[in-house]
Structure 1
C-alpha cells in the first residue's frame, strides 16, 4: 500500500472561515488486494472487500481501466486505429499518427481514450460509455455494502495542451463537488476573485495517481480528510468539467492560426527516406477540393504515384521529352545535362502527386476571347486547389515542391499514366519528410502587392 499525507491550502482556508486556523491535512493511499477485474464483476463489492474501512466523507478514486473491464468495454481489435476511428466524434489536431480528438463521451484527448495497455494482446480498452453513471453505480454499491457516504471519481490519464507530461483527470464523478467556484470571494489581500473556478475533481484524480502508479497493480486510491468536497447525489458529474463549444477559444482555431498554417507551406527540395503516409496525402486532397471553382464544378483530379515503378516510368519518359525539347532549342549537351538535373527534386522524392485540370462543366461561347477567359477561370481554380493541397501537406508535417514540368509534356504524362484525354496535368508535387528545416523567409509587406482605388 502506498500512502501520502498533505496539507491542502484551500481546506485550511475553509477551516479558517469557521475560526479554526489549526493545521489541516488529508491522507491519500492506494490499497493492495484488488483482484484482476473481468466483465460482469461487481466493482463496488470488490472495492468494499479491498477497503472495508471506508468512512463517510472519503473520496474513492477509481482508474477507468477497471471500470471498462467490469462493464465489458474490452474490444478485440487487430488495429487500434480502427477503434479510435469508431470512438471519434471530431478530430481536433493531428501530428503524424497522433490524433487529439473529441470522443463519444465529449472528452478531448489523445486516441479517443482507446488504450492498448493493461489488456491482453489483440484487444483494446474503450472508456466507459457513461463515466458519470459508472461513478454513481459504484457510490450506490458502496453505500449498500458498507453503509458509507463517499464520493467517487473515475479517472483517466491525459495530456494538457499547454503543459508537458501526463496526469490523471476526472472523467466521471458522483457525490463530489467537481468544481470549486471561488468567484465573488476575496484573496488574502482583499482583492476580488472574479475568474477562479478550481477543478477539484481533477486535483483529486492527480493526487490519487501519485500513489496508484501506472503499472503497480493498484487501480484504486482513497482520499481522507477532505469531507467538504463530498456532496449529495444532486451534484453534477465530471461532464461539468468539459468546456463547452461556446467557451472553447481554440476549438476551430483563430485567424492567427490560419495565417500560420498558410505561411507554414514552404518549398522543400530535399527529403529523408522516411515513407509518406498515404492517408496524410488523401487528407490533403480532401482539403484541396474545397477550393472555389466556376459554375459549381469540380475541376480537380489528383493522380497519386505511390509505387516506385510508376514514378520511375513517368520521370524517365518526361526526361526524354525534356531532352528532346532542349536539343531542338539548340542547347549544348552540357546545358541540357545541367537543366535536366533540376528535375532531381521529383526523382529524389519518396512520393509524387500529379494534379490535373478537367474542364467538365465549362461553357463554350464560340468567341475566342470569352472561351479563353473561361479556361483561365478553370486554371485559377486548379491553382487554388494546388495551394490548398500544399498547405494541407504542410499541416501534416510533410514537405512539398510544386514543379511545373508535366505541363510541358502533357501527352507523355497522359500516355504513361493511362489518363483520360481531357485530364490536363498541372505540374507535379514532390512530397516527403523534409531533410532539414527550410531557411527563414523574410516577411513580405502586404502593401507592396496592394492597389487601393
Structure 2
C-alpha cells in the first residue's frame, strides 16, 4: 500500500483519471485506488461561494439526525449520515466551501473507466471521505463511492474455524480499504490517492457501489439522536384503527409501561396501573360485558336501535386489536382536605398525571413501531370493568388502549401551527 505523489492542485474540469495516470503510478490489474473525495469534488466543480457554511449545510441536508449546539449530524443528498452534510471549508479558498460529489459511485466509475482507457488496467476505485463514528472517538476514512470493488463481503451461511455458523457477519471491505489507505495518504501531506495491491479478489465487474453500505432507515436502530428520536416518536404517534394479525411482543408493551411510569405525579405518588389483556378470551370477556353495559345505558337514554348499533361499531377498534391495555388511575397518596373544591382539584391533579403516563405509554409504543388507539369506553362502565378483570375498588379504568401492528399507513395529521396554541404574557 502506498500513496501517489505528484498529483498537485486539482481544478474544476480536470480529469482525475488522467491526473493519476500522469504520475506514472505503475498500476496493475487487481489494484485498488483510494481517491480522496476532495479532489473529485474540485474536478467536478463542487466548490461554491458560501460566506455562511451553515447555509450550505442546510442546502445539502435532507434530514437532521442529531444536533448538539452548532454541531449537526445529518443525512445529506447522497444518503450519507455524517457531520455537517460533508460540507468542507478546509483546503478551499476563503469565502467558499467544498461539497461532496453529486454521485460518488458515478465518479468512481468514471475514474475506473478513464484508467482503463488511459493505462489499459483493470482496477477498482473507491472514493473516500472522513467520518466520525457513533460510540468511538477519532475520525477515519470510509467509502462514499466505489466502482469495480466488492464493497461488502457477505460471510453469512459459512462457518468459523470451530465450525460455528456465521449468521450476521458481513464485512465492510470498502470501508476497511478506505481506512487503510488513509494511513499512507495522511490528512495534510497533499497525497490524495493511495494504491492497495495484493487483494485482487475484491476487484470485479460488479454493479454495486458504496451506496450498498448505507443502511436504510427501516433497518437502522440508531436512526436518530436522543432528542430527535423523542420528537419523532411523538410526531409519529397516530391513532391506529386497523391492525394486522401479527402478534404483539409483550416485552415491547412492558418496555412502554416502564416509560409510562416515569411521568410526573403529585406528592411523589405512582398513580398508574396497566392491566395487560394478552389472551383472546380475556379480551372477549371484557369487551362483551362492556358492550352489554353500554347498550343498556344507551337504551335507558332513549337512543334508537340504529343509533345504538352505530355507536357500538365505533368501539369495534378494540375487538380488531390483537392486544389490549387498560390503564387505571389509583389515588393512593392523595390528600383529603374535607373541602369539596380542594378535593376536586386534588383528583384533577391525579387525572392529569394519569394522562401523562398514558401519553408516555403511547409514545413509547410508537417507538417500538406499534400502533395504538386510546378509546375512552371503559370510563363509562368502570364497575363492569373492575368486576370482569377482578380489579380493586380503588382502581379507576381510564379507557382502553388497542395495540397492534398498523394494517396501513395512518392518515396524515392536519398541520397544526404551534403559535395558534400559545399565549404569551
The TM-score normalised by the length of structure 1 is: 0.53
- C-alpha contact (below 8 Å) 1:271/1:348 kept by paired residues: yes
Q: Determine which of 306, 309, 312 is the counterpart of 1:334.
A: 306
**Partners in 2 of 1:205 and 1:259 — Cα distance?**
49
| CA apart distance, 1:400 | 1.0
In the alignment, what sits opposite 1:221?
none
**Partners in 2 of 1:366 and 1:179 — Cα distance?**
80
| SS at 1:409 equivalent | helix
In the alignment, what sits opposite 1:306?
278
The number of residues matched between the two structures is 282
In the alignment, what sits opposite 2:187?
182
TM-align CA RMSD: 4.5
**Partners in 2 of 1:410 and 1:122 — Cα distance?**
60
**Aligned 1:143-292 pairs, distance under 5 A:** 157=171, 169-170=175-176, 180-183=185-188, 185=190, 252-255=225-228, 257-292=229-264
In the alignment, what sits opposite 2:24?
22
**Partners in 2 of 1:183 and 1:433 — Cα distance?**
52
Relative distance call for 1:311 and 1:413 in structure 2 (3 A) is: same
**Partners in 2 of 1:409 and 1:122 — Cα distance?**
61
Relative distance call for 1:289 and 1:182 in structure 2 (3 A) is: same
- C-alpha contact (below 8 Å) 2:156/2:167 kept by paired residues: no
| CA apart distance, 1:207 | 8.2
| CA apart distance, 1:118 | 2.3
Whether 1:417 and 2:389 are equivalent positions in the alignment is: yes
In the alignment, what sits opposite 2:158?
118
**Aligned 1:290-439 pairs, distance under 5 A:** 290-439=262-411
Q: Deviation per CA, 1:58-101: give whole Å up to 9, x if none.
A: xxxxxxxxxxxxxxxxxxxxxxxxxxxxxxxxxxxxxxxxxxxx
- C-alpha contact (below 8 Å) 2:337/2:343 kept by paired residues: yes
Relative distance call for 1:284 and 1:208 in structure 2 (3 A) is: farther
Whether 1:11 and 2:13 are equivalent positions in the alignment is: no
| CA apart distance, 1:305 | 0.9
**Partners in 2 of 1:205 and 1:275 — Cα distance?**
51
| CA apart distance, 1:319 | 0.5
Relative distance call for 1:303 and 1:21 in structure 2 (3 A) is: same
- C-alpha contact (below 8 Å) 1:265/1:390 kept by paired residues: yes
Q: Deviation per CA, 1:154-201: give whole Å up to 9, x if none.
A: x9525xxxxxxxx56549x9x9865854248598xxxxxxxxxx9x99
Q: Deviation per CA, 1:180-230: give whole Å up to 9, x if none.
A: 54248598xxxxxxxxxx9x99x999986557x9xxxxxxxxxxxxxxxxx
- C-alpha contact (below 8 Å) 2:185/2:191 kept by paired residues: no
Stretches of structure 1 that go unaligned for 5 or more consecutive residues are 1-7, 30-101, 107-114, 128-154, 159-166, 188-197, 214-248
**Partners in 1 of 2:260 and 2:243 — Cα distance?**
22
- C-alpha contact (below 8 Å) 1:291/1:384 kept by paired residues: yes
| SS at 1:360 equivalent | coil
| CA apart distance, 1:403 | 0.1
**Partners in 2 of 1:122 and 1:103 — Cα distance?**
31
| CA apart distance, 1:428 | 0.5
- C-alpha contact (below 8 Å) 2:371/2:404 kept by paired residues: yes
| CA apart distance, 1:25 | 2.6
Q: Deviation per CA, 1:18-57: give whole Å up to 9, x if none.
A: xx8213436659xxxxxxxxxxxxxxxxxxxxxxxxxxxx
Relative distance call for 1:270 and 1:185 in structure 2 (3 A) is: same
**Partners in 2 of 1:206 and 1:356 — Cα distance?**
64
| SS at 1:431 equivalent | strand
Stretches of structure 2 that go unaligned for 5 or more consecutive residues are 9-21, 32-133, 139-154, 207-221
| CA apart distance, 1:259 | 2.6
The TM-score normalised by the length of structure 2 is: 0.56
